[in-house]
Chains A and B, each alone.
Chain A
Amino acid sequence: DTAVSQTPKYLVTQMGNDKSIKCEQNLGHDTMYWYKQDSKKFLKIMFSYNNKELIINETVPNRFSPKSPDKAHLNLHINSLELGDSAVYFCASSLTHVTSEYEQYFGPGTRLTVT
């Protein structure tokens, strides 16, 4: 009974390709996030959506485009993949975005390798 799921779990692709990662949560949360864990292991927030509205947009190349078709889904599309995009991408969700006192639930991650 997965709370936050991501597909695919692993993604190997070549430079220049376009790829998407999907995320779904069944917790009834209204806020979803994308994080990137780079080679130095820092988890850095990329985007956040609340009720399908973008509320956090960190300094991320515009090759990355999040899309939220509904509250339960937040997908990440990446155009023209580069070697530096190789990382683990985590999706997360929380009950609300208003306060951090509502914990964020993370998906298992998608390991993206660009060759």
Chain B
Amino acid sequence: DQQVKQNSPSLSVQEGRISILNCDYTNSMFDYFLWYKKYPAEGPTFLISISSIKDKNEDGRFTVFLNKSAKHLSLHIVPSQPGDSAVYFCAASYSNAGGTSYGKLTFGQGTILTVHP
């Protein structure tokens, strides 16, 4: 029962163009969403996040959009650079009635992004 899914295993884009990575979730209790980036032989590194009270969060070239009604979020990278080539993981968490999440993240299976020069 995968509650967070990234249905595109891979994405290939040209340098300078936009990269759009998608993520779907099934648990309506999720209230916080994150994107992590992973290079080979390294651990994931945090990229950007969004709270469920927002529908957009921007940080430089990276923008995350959240559509709660569709249970869908996307990561836009503009412009894409060869150094962005990596695996991108979507993750989600929710808080209990006391407002504590315990830091439990549910990850998708990742999308391999390749940016060609």
Residues on A close to B: CB < 8 A?
Answer: 4, 31, 33, 35, 40-45, 48, 55-56, 90, 92, 94, 96-109
Contacts and interface: CB of A to CB of B under 8 A. Distances in A.
Contacts of A48: 102-104
Taking each of B2, B99, B101, B102, which has the highest tally of chain A beta carbons within 10 Å of its own beta carbon? B102
Interface of B: 2, 32, 34, 36, 41-46, 49, 51, 87, 89, 91, 93, 95, 99-110
8 contacts: A41-B87, A42-B108, A48-B102, A97-B100, A97-B103, A99-B100, A99-B103, A104-B103
Contacts of B89: 43
A100 B103 contact: yes
A41 to B, nearest CB: 5
Contact of B107 (A43, A55, A96): A43
A96 to B, nearest CB: 8
Nearest to A45: B104
